[in-house]
């Protein structure tokens, strides 16, 4: 048979996890390859990039989408278990589990909305069937989805890390963004400061003509206005003019409104923004493949 698409993989994958045990993704790939009776050639067939087996990639995406719908849970890297939501989904005896089925879950709709929002920024209409869109539009849409998923995975890994690791991550990001002078200077400035609501101080430029005060919160709960007020009070106590408040969660509307109307400059970086900055500035994201798009060079054919 041909290699099944990732949506066809979803229901067998969820049934495989129905025993409630913790399974590795590699184990699932092997079991599902047997389930679909794939040949050795089909199991080894690679994506166009040549970097990953096609079937491995599709099982991975099936797991990712069901994880976004909370049907599956990843207790640690490379492993997954079924959730109570997943068990209830199987009890409905569905004929198939696909993207349309997952849209009944608010968490998946939120994930899909974020992906579509990024696609809209590139003028891609994701409501148009794939066969009716140009190859460029399909690629832009796929890139937006992959980027959204990567950002989500980065935040999950940060949540599982230690506070010390998060401090190092903040340093790496700010240095890659051009702040902090040298890595050594930045490392000494951030982490362990803890003075009146300030976690660290970092140079805005290599000469140190201006400094930026930092507050970093590895939180799950929404950051409320009082936390920003406390940070601003700490800035005032240091006669500081600039501050950055970084969190792995989000900011309430009241916190955002308060920060917007201040005389001192306070930049709020929520979890989604943090993850996207990490992607853009090469922190904790390893390149997997690169695709170069070319067009006809009209100048080359100019015989004038």
Residues of 248-283 as b/e, b for ≥16 C-beta within 10 angstroms? bbbbbeebeebbeeeeeebebbbbbebbbbbeeeeb
Cα-based torsion angle of the residue sequence 119, 123, 129, 135 in order, rounded to the nearest 10 degrees: -90
Q: Which residues contact 290 (CB under 8 A, 6 or more apart)?
A: none
As annotated, the residues of the chain forming the CATH 1.10.10.10 domain(s) are 1-104
What percentage of the chain reaches a pLDDT higher than 90? Answer: 44
As annotated, the residues of the chain forming the CATH 3.40.1340.10 domain(s) are 163-269
Total residues found in the chain within this entry: 304
Residue 96, pLDDT > 80, answer yes
Q: What is the pTM of this model?
A: 0.66
Residue 135: pLDDT band (50, 70, 90) is: low
Architecture of domain 163-269: 3-Layer(aba) Sandwich (3.40)
Q: How many CB atoms neighbour CB 128 within 10 A?
A: 13
DSSP structural state of residue 251: B
pLDDT of residue 235: 87
How high does pLDDT run on average in the chain?
84
Residue 1, pLDDT > 50, answer yes
Architecture of domain 1-104: Orthogonal Bundle (1.10)
Q: At what angle do helices 253-260 and 225-237 cross, to 10 degrees?
A: 30
Q: How many CB atoms neighbour CB 52 within 10 A?
A: 13
Expressed in angstroms, the distance from the first to the final Cα of the chain is 55
For residue 24, what are the β-bridge partners?
79
Least Cα distance to 31 among 45, 15, 47, 20 occurs for: 15
Per-residue CA distances from 142 to 44, 119, 282 (Å): 23, 9, 20
Q: How many CB atoms neighbour CB 94 within 10 A?
A: 13
For residue 72, what are the β-bridge partners?
82
270-292: pLDDT as tens digits: 999 999 999 999 998 888 777 78
222-270: pLDDT as tens digits: 999 999 999 999 888 888 888 999 999 999 999 999 999 888 899 999 9
Residues 242, 30: Cα–Cα separation, whole Å = 54
């Amino acid at each position: 048979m041909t290699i099944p698409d990732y949506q066809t993989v979803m229901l067998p994958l969820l049934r495989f996890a129905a025993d409630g045990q913790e399974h590795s993704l590699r184990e699932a790939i092997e079991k599902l390859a047997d389930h679909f009776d794939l040949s050795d050639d089909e199991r080894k067939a690679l994506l166009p990039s040549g970097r990953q087996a096609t079937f491995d990639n599709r099982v991975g995406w099936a797991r990712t989408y069901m994880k976004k719908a909370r049907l599956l849970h990843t207790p640690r890297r490379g492993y997954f278990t079924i959730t109570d939501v997943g068990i209830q989904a199987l009890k409905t005896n569905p004929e198939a589990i696909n993207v349309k089925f997952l849209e009944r879950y608010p968490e998946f709709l939120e994930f899909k909305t974020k992906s579509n929002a990024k696609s809209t920024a590139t003028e891609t209409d994701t409501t148009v069937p794939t066969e009716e869109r140009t190859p460029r539009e399909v690629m832009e849409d796929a890139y937006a989805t992959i980027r959204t998923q990567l950002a989500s995975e980065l935040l999950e890994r940060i949540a599982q890390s230690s506070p010390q690791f998060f401090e190092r991550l903040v340093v790496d990001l700010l240095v890659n963004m051009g702040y902090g002078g040298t890595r050594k200077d930045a490392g000494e400035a951030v982490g362990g400061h803890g003075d009146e609501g300030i976690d660290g101080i970092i140079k805005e430029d290599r000469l140190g003509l201006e400094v930026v005060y930092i507050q970093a919160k590895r939180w799950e709960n929404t950051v409320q206005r009082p936390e920003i007020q406390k940070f601003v009070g700490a800035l005032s106590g240091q006669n500081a003019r600039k501050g950055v408040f970084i969190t792995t969660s989000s900011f309430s509307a009241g916190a955002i409104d308060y920060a917007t109307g201040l005389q001192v400059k306070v930049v709020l970086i929520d979890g989604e923004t943090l993850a996207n900055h990490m992607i853009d500035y090469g922190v904790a994201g390893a390149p997997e493949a690169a695709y170069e798009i070319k067009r006809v060079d009209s100048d080359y054919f100019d015989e004038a």
